[in-house]
Chains A and B, each alone.
Chain A
Amino acid sequence: MDFSSSSQYVVSQELATAVNAAVTLEKPLLLKGEPGTGKTRLAEELANALDTELLQWSIKSTTKAQQGLYEYDAVSRLRDSQLGSEKVHDISNYIRPGKLWQAFTAEKRPVLLIDEIDKADVEFPNDLLHELDQMAFHVYETGEQIKAEQRPIVLITSNNEKALPDAFLRRCFFHYIQFPDSDTLKAIVDVHFPDLHRDLLDTALALFFELRDVPGLKKKPSTSELLDWLRLLLVEDIDANELRKSREQGGLLPLSGALLKHEQDVERLAEYARIQRR
């Protein structure tokens, strides 16, 4: 197993090491990093590279660990019993497998993405400890034991909204996706816009990193925002000279709405530009 950059996705060496280790040693890989650094994309690309299925379990604040295993649909069963349906005698007709169950029983070793685990209740990761460790669980209604034939590749992402319990962390590998440096960023842009003008790219990237360095921004623009911005620049046909001109005049970049998502950040930037010009 050797995961590396593809034609659609650029992987740093450290990230490749992390993914390869997690795949080889069959451990869940916990990914953290600024929003927009491609944590979720990684799972898609990994599934592509391995030519296997991607099971995506998006966590919300109301998600319970049990929902990932299975759910028992009591209401359908009650209804069926009223209608006198034959199905009602077999309880397994009303057990709906969750994402973990699907991952455990998949034919080919799948990629299971548990997306934004920090959105759930504080106890959520603890409830999954045993299941992720043993890759097995018990179905109380039928007395069945679901065990993974082959351990799925588990990727977990977190945006750091809540801290995760130690016991959970011990069972995972952890990788913090750092914001890419300008060379890596260039490679990423190349993948997405192969015919972007060198000059424009250099200017845009310089401006972009300058923007990230403005102190006190609420949300620093990340890779996905940069890509959106470049797309807009291309559509609007803005060239490097124009960019440079607006930089020299101070004030806002063209189409900065794609980069800054907070009103206060736009104000902050304008203020910062004023100070710089003095």
Chain B
Amino acid sequence: MFIDFFQTLRRHGLKTSITEWLDLLSAMKANLAFADVEQFYYLSRLILVKDEAQYDKFDRAFSEYVDKVAKVDVTEKIPKDWLENALKRNLSDEEKSKVQQLGSLDELMKTFQERLKEQQKRHQGGSKWIGTGGTSPFGAYGYHPGGIRIGQDGNRNRSAAKVWDKREFRDLDDNARLEQRGFQVALRKLRQFARTGAATELDLNGTIEATSKKGGLLDLKWQSERHNAVKIILLLDVGGSMDDYVYQCEQLFTALKNEFKHLELFYFHNCVYEGVWRDNSRRREEQLPTEQLIQTYGEDYKLLFVGDATMGPYEIAYPGGSVEHWNEEPGEAWINRLTRHFEKVAWLNPQPEEHWRYYMSVRMIHDLVGGRMYPLTLDGLERAMSGLR
């Protein structure tokens, strides 16, 4: 049942699983969306889609499916005796008297089928289903083979059409969206646990040992909680060509912040020179001399650069090469100083790895950090993390 719908969804790139599929079927069985295509839309979206970024894909798939269903000739597909039985069951007394007015049931069926055909023709232009419009004696009767409703509430169906055709979630759909969760899982590779801070956890083994030493007199021992002891300095390139990667950098930063308690963030532009800054809006006033950065943070900190390393080669190699100010010493001198001080260094580059060789500056930075440049992808991040261990 609804196999076609399922396949339409898969074709549109939704990762709907069989389990969820069966859930939807049991929801249909429980009559949660009987004879109402809008209800069916909400219900199937609820059960099959688990991320609002996928809503737009779902809307498109649903629209395609409903289009196809609308082309099915209902009069052929519905067995006649089925209709008759259903009709008898569903007609109210008032409607039954109307049936009498129309004559026999056979006659009624004929009218009904004609009306259906008529309506299909009328709706072929753009609308997607059959609505009897509230005047017919079939008003209380509905049939729902995966999305067709023949009912009295024509207006409601039309408003439902808008729901998926409006595609309100278009902005959220983004194929290239990087998974922050994936980032975070990759970062876990760098966990190094140590017990630091206040002793708040009961040390059960220690307590047992101490208590037995005292001959059974209780002697509680406490220990501090295990924390990830890794310390990170993040140097982030901002502005210019990095604007294209703001989203990726944000995701990375959130993941880093969640994972590492000791995280120091500084910004630079294109290449590191004599000063870095913490606050972008006050970068001119509040620079921290790079020299001081080296003195403040011990070599046990791990240094992580994030930047596309795309600039003029002179910005790295020559004094005064910076595009923003006069630098006494070339950028490479500063990068060398940093990599000499911090043992563990990695450079994450949001540019695709296959583009690197076309930029001279990328090759230069690549060499300056001793080949420890990785692309800002899941795989690259994993490699960077094992390099930082």
Contact = CB atoms under 8 A, between A and B. Distances in A.
B52 A75 contact: no
Q: What 8 A-B pairs come out closest when comparing CB atoms? A: A163-B181, A169-B50, A176-B52, A17-B42, A174-B50, A14-B42, A82-B218, A18-B46
B51 A174 contact: yes
A32 B181 contact: no
B23 A25 contact: yes
A170 interface: yes
B27 interface: yes
A78 B218 contact: yes
Contacts of B220: 75, 78
A24 B185 contact: no
B27 A162 contact: no
A74 B202 CA distance: 9
Interface string A56-91: 000000000000000000110011011000000000
B17 interface: yes
Contacts of B33: 17
B43 interface: yes
A36 interface: no
A126 to B, nearest CB: 11
B207 interface: yes
B176 interface: no
Contacts, number: 77
B32 A21 contact: yes
B135 interface: no
B78 interface: no
Contacts of A24: 27, 30, 32
B20 interface: yes
Contact of A25 (B26, B49, B180): B26
Given A21-B43, A21-B47, A175-B46, 12 more contacts: A18-B46, A21-B27, A21-B46, A25-B27, A75-B220, A78-B207, A81-B218, A162-B184, A164-B181, A170-B19, A170-B20, A176-B52
B43 to A, nearest CB: 6
Interface in A157-187: 161-166, 169-170, 172-176, 178
Contacts of B169: 176
A173 B46 contact: yes
Nearest to B19: A170
23 contacts: A17-B32, A17-B42, A21-B32, A21-B46, A22-B46, A25-B23, A30-B50, A32-B52, A79-B218, A81-B218, A82-B217, A122-B181, A122-B185, A122-B258, A161-B254, A162-B180, A162-B181, A163-B181, A165-B181, A166-B50, A170-B20, A173-B47, A176-B52
A17 B46 contact: yes
B20 to A, nearest CB: 6
B204 A74 contact: yes
Interface string B165-198: 0001100000000011110110010000000000
A170 to B, nearest CB: 6
Contact of A163 (B20, B49, B180): B180
Interface residues of B, number: 38
A121 to B, nearest CB: 9
B42 A75 contact: no
Interface string B213-245: 000011010000000000000000000000000
A163 B179 contact: yes
A20 B32 contact: yes
Given A21-B46, A162-B180, A75 B168 contact: no
B39 interface: yes
Contacts of A78: 207, 218, 220
A151 interface: no
Contacts of B180: 162-163
A79 B207 CA distance: 12
Contact of B184 (A22, A74, A122): A122
B55 interface: yes
Contacts of A5: none
B30 A25 contact: yes
A13 interface: yes
A27 interface: yes
Interface string B101-115: 000000000000000
B106 to A, nearest CB: 39
Interface string B16-43: 0101100100110010110000110011
Contact of A17 (B20, B26, B43, B51): B43
A75 B202 contact: yes
Nearest to A174: B50
Interface in B275-299: none
Interface in A91-149: 122
Contacts of A82: 217-218
B181 A170 contact: no
Given A17-B42, A74-B202, A78-B207, A174 B181 contact: no
Nearest to A79: B218
A27 B19 CA distance: 12
Contact of A170 (B17, B43, B168): B17
Contacts of B50: 30, 166, 169-170, 172, 174
A166 to B, nearest CB: 8
Nearest to A22: B46
Contacts of A17: 32-33, 39, 42-43, 46
B331 to A, nearest CB: 31
Nearest to B204: A74
A74 B47 CA distance: 42
